[in-house]
């Protein structure tokens, strides 16, 4: 038996979350779960995460890990909620320390140190772990952010925002720690996984008339990705990406997302009235 994947779509942020079930059909990991958040009211809810949790319960899965491909800047992580419901350990790439170092300063978060210890585990390039008889290998794939990692299992790879769909292209590289040249080289490593490997996305932004799709094969990406198809030189990609990033607005949910996601999905500590707050740094981002 080989591993299998069930993907869950979050329409408001166009995020794909995935459950990878190991070869034994019993052990599984959750990848990039999403919390619902209404920016106008500051209200959080778990409707989307509950759908994923219900599916895991129906399958009677033992959740070993809740994995982040990176600290997302456009949606809030539901990792702690999923952990509270299903168990598992929250893991992310070790580059998160650098991302924390930056954003803890921006938000003057003095209650926490940027050593990654708020996560249960930090992964380094080449680390491996077992999920129900399936070996998962962690590949460091920086570029979009410095903490971006890809989780590879059998012929499946969970690539975060390393690539989007072939018709949309690639992720921005202008966040702190982002680097277009690094992204180019990370994508070449993904392509080296082989044409049949299925690359699972963190987001899909389909044009009108196409349904969101959770994955594309290496062959589809290498053959047709509008930014990173075969034959594009690194220098050409870097110049296109850099120019394009200059014109992009920040994601709508970046301010709540980075404050919460760099804390492994936890809220900042409540103030003495018992309420937790999200800060807005003025003229800083």
Smaller CB separation from Fe ion, 72 or 156: 72
Min CB(174)–Fe ion separation in Å = 12
Q: Which of 11, 37, 9, 94 is nearest to 265 (CA)?
A: 37
Residue 144 CB, nearest approach to Fe ion (Å) = 6
Which of 22/177 has CB closer to Fe ion? 177
Which is nearer to Fe ion, 23 or 159 (by Cβ)? 159
Buried b (16+ CB within 10 A) or exposed e, 120-153: eebbebebebebbebebebbbbbbbbbbbbbbbb
Q: Which of residues 72-101 bind Fe ion (CB under 5 A)?
A: 72
Q: Among residues 72 and 227, whose Cβ is nearest to Fe ion?
A: 72
Determine the interface stretch with Fe ion among 70-78, 100-108, 132-140, 178-186 (rule: CB under 5 A).
Answer: 70-78
Residues 185-224 that bind Fe ion (CB under 5 A): none
Residue 127 contacts Fe ion per CB under 5 A: no
Residue whose beta carbon is closest to Fe ion: 161
Q: Is 216 strand, coil or helix?
A: strand
Residue 32 sits in the site that holds Fe ion (CB under 5 A): no
- When the beta carbons of 63 and 253 are compared against Fe ion, the nearer one is 253
Q: What share of the chain is helix, strand, coil (3-state, %, to 5)?
A: 25, 25, 50
- Footprint on residues 241-280 left by Fe ion (CB under 5 A): none
Beta pairing partners, 63: 28
User: The tokens 């500051």 sit on which residue?
Assistant: 42
What's the token pair of residue 107? 């938000």
Polymer length of the chain: 285
94 versus 147: smaller Cβ distance to Fe ion: 147
User: Which one of 48-56, 105-113, 157-165, 228-236 is the stretch in contact with Fe ion (CB under 5 A)?
Assistant: 157-165
Give the pair of three-digit tokens for residue 86: 């299903």
Task: Please tell me the count of residues contacting Fe ion according to CB under 5 A.
Answer: 2
User: CB under 5 A: which stretch of 54-62, 132-140, 155-163, 208-216 binds Fe ion?
Assistant: 155-163
- All residues at 6 or more sequence positions from 73 whose CB lies less than 8 Å from its CB, including other chains: 145, 175, 250, 251, 253, 254, 257, 258, 261
Distance CA 138, CA 126 (A): 5
The piece of 71-79, 84-92, 190-198, 252-260 that touches Fe ion (CB under 5 A) is 71-79
Six-digit token pair at 115? 């050593």
CB count within 10 Å of CB 201 equals 27
Indicate which single residue of 161, 179, 182, 204 sits in contact with Fe ion (rule: CB under 5 A). 161
Residues in touch with Fe ion (CB under 5 A): 72, 161
């Amino acid at each position: 038996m080989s591993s299998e994947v069930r993907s869950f779509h979050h329409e408001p942020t166009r995020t794909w979350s995935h459950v990878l079930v190991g070869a034994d059909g019993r052990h599984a990991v959750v990848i990039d779960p999403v919390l619902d958040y209404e920016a106008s009211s500051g209200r959080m809810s778990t409707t989307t995460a509950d759908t994923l949790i219900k599916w895991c319960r129906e399958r009677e899965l033992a959740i070993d890990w809740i994995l982040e491909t990176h600290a997302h800047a456009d949606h809030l992580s539901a990792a702690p909620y999923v952990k509270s419901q299903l168990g598992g350990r929250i893991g992310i790439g070790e580059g998160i320390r650098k991302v924390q170092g930056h954003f803890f300063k921006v938000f003057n978060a003095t209650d926490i140190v940027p050593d990654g210890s708020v996560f249960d585990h930090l992964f380094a390039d080449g680390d491996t772990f077992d999920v129900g008889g399936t070996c998962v290998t962690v590949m460091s794939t920086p570029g979009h952010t410095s903490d971006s990692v890809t989780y590879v299992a059998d012929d499946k790879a969970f690539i975060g925002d390393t690539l989007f769909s072939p018709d949309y292209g690639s992720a921005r590289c202008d966040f702190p720690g982002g680097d277009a040249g690094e992204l180019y080289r990370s994508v070449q490593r993904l392509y080296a996984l082989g044409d049949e490997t299925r690359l699972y996305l963190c987001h899909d932004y389909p044009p009108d008339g196409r349904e969101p799709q959770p994955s594309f094969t290496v062959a589809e990406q290498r053959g047709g990705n509008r930014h990173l198809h075969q034959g594009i030189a690194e220098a050409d990609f870097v110049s296109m990406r850099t120019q394009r990033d200059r014109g992009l607005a920040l994601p709508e949910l970046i301010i709540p997302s980075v404050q919460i996601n760099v804390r492994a999905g936890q809220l900042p500590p409540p103030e003495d009235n018992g309420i937790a707050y999200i800060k807005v740094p003025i003229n800083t981002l």
